[in-house]
């Protein structure tokens, strides 16, 4: 079964865009996933095909209308009722590799892309929409976020990366950043590949990689490290607590 991506957008011409080349492009040609952008403006009812209006309470910019978005969302739900419905917004929960894996294991995804100042909040109350952010910065529209999310999902689909690279020991899969990589030439601008990686001693290489993954996570991503350490410390004591009862 192919992974079906439906994208509600004011710019359908942005899809598949960069996902039409390389790994994702090949997978698209092979039918491993499908891409259907839907024009939100088609769900406007006035003669100007308006999708936005001025913000209630005043302020700059325009807001996407709940009635127009509601119709667009209902159309997508009717077409693919089993697919999770996501909306791109900086106000959403940050996208994680765990969420990406869960989505990639499913039938597909419907993604609503915002523009302007964002979407009328009543839409989120009235429909089963999961608000998703791709990071703590503001894009001009949800389309780049949708492309990012889809790229992360597509590479995990069966047969896309090939058996050699399942992505199992990549960054975030174990709660840590991945260890650093090196390749030939052995010496570059006076810097050499760490000795251990050229030793052929697989146990030593594994130990070095584990140590570097931990050090780099601690130094570069103290937030991840704290969560990782919290989970590690908690699980043995959690097990102990259970036994003591
Ligand atoms: N006024 C909004 C705010 O401050 O939260 C920003 C609106 S932004 C200019 C327009 C659209 O870009 C949003 O509706 C959303 O779809 C998308 N967008 C911007 N930043 C995003 C992010 N970090 N993650 C996901 N989508 C984002």
CA 133 to ligand 1 center in whole angstroms: 8
Three-state SS sequence of 204-221: HHHHHHHHHHHHHHHHHC
Contacts of 88 (CB under 8 A, 6+ apart): 111, 112, 113, 114, 132, 133, 134, 142, 143, 145, 146, 149
* C-alpha of residue 91 to centroid of ligand 1, in Å: 8
DSSP conformational letter for 119: B
The tokens of 62 are what? 């325009």
Q: In the CATH scheme, what is the homologous superfamily, with its name and number, of domain 169-245?
A: tRNA(m1g37)methyltransferase, domain 2 (1.10.1270.20)
pLDDT tens by residue, 165-213: 667 778 898 899 999 999 999 999 999 999 999 999 999 999 999 999 9
Name the band, by pLDDT with cuts 50, 70 and 90, for residue 122.
very high
**Domain spans of the chain?**
3-154, 169-245
Which among 134, 108, 129, 104 is positioned nearest to 119, based on CA atoms? 129
Asked whether 67 lines ligand 1 (CB < 6 A), one says no
Do 3-154 and 169-245 show the same overall fold? no
Of all atoms in ligand 1, which is nearest to the CA of residue 116?
10
CATH number assigned to the domain with residue range 3-154, chosen from the 4 options 3.50.30.60, 3.40.1260.10, 3.40.1280.10, 3.40.50.2300: 3.40.1280.10
Q: Is the pLDDT of residue 244 over 60?
A: no
How far apart (Å, rounded) are the C-alpha atoms in residues 77 and 130? 13
Q: Is the pLDDT of residue 237 over 60?
A: no
- How confident is the model over 53-83, as pLDDT tens digits? 999 999 999 999 999 999 999 999 999 999 9
* Residues found in the chain: 245
| Pick from 21, 55, 27, 9: nearest CA to 158 | 27
Instruction: Tell me the DSSP string of 60-111.
Output: SS-EE-HHHHHHHHHHHHHH-TTS-EEEEEEEEEEP-HHHHHHHHTSSEEEE
Q: How far apart are the first and last CA of the chain?
A: 47
Q: Is the CB of 184 under 6 A from ligand 1?
A: no
3 phi/psi in degrees, rounded to 5: -80, 120
44-80 b/e (C-beta count within 10 Å ≥ 16 → b): beeeeeebbeeeeeeeeeebbbbebbbbbbebbbeeb
Which pLDDT does position 167 carry in this prediction?
73
Distance, in Å, from the CA atom of 137 to the CA atom of 159, rounded to the nearest integer, reads: 33
For residue 51, how far is its CA from the centre of ligand 1 (angstroms)? 16
Entry pTM: 0.94
Query: Which residue matches tokens 């106000």?
Result: 91
């Amino acid at each position: 079964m192919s992974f079906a991506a439906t994208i509600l957008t004011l710019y359908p011409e942005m899809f598949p865009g960069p996902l039409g080349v390389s790994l994702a492009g090949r997978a698209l040609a092979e039918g491993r996933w499908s891409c259907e952008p839907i024009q939100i403006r088609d769900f406007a009812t006035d003669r100007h095909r308006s999708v936005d209006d001025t913000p209630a309470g005043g302020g700059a910019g325009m807001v996407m209308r709940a009635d127009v978005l509601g119709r667009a969302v209902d159309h997508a739900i009717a077409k693919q009722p089993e697919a999770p419905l996501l909306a791109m917004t900086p106000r959403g929960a940050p996208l994680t590799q765990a969420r990406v894996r869960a989505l990639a294991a499913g039938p597909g995804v419907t993604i609503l892309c915002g523009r302007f100042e964002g979407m009328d909040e009543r839409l989120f109350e009235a429909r089963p929409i999961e608000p998703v952010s791709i990071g703590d910065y503001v894009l001009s529209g949800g389309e780049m976020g949708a492309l990012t999310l889809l790229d992360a999902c597509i590479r995990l689909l069966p047969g896309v990366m090939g058996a050699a690279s399942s992505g199992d020991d990549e960054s975030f899969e174990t709660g840590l950043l991945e260890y650093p990589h090196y390749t030939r030439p052995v010496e570059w601008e006076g810097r050499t590949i760490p000795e251990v990686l050229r030793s052929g001693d697989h146990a030593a290489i594994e130990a070095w990689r584990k140590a570097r993954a931990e050090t780099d996570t601690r130094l570069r991503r103290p937030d991840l490290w704290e969560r990782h350490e919290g989970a590690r410390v908690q699980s043995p004591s959690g097990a102990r607590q259970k036994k003591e009862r």
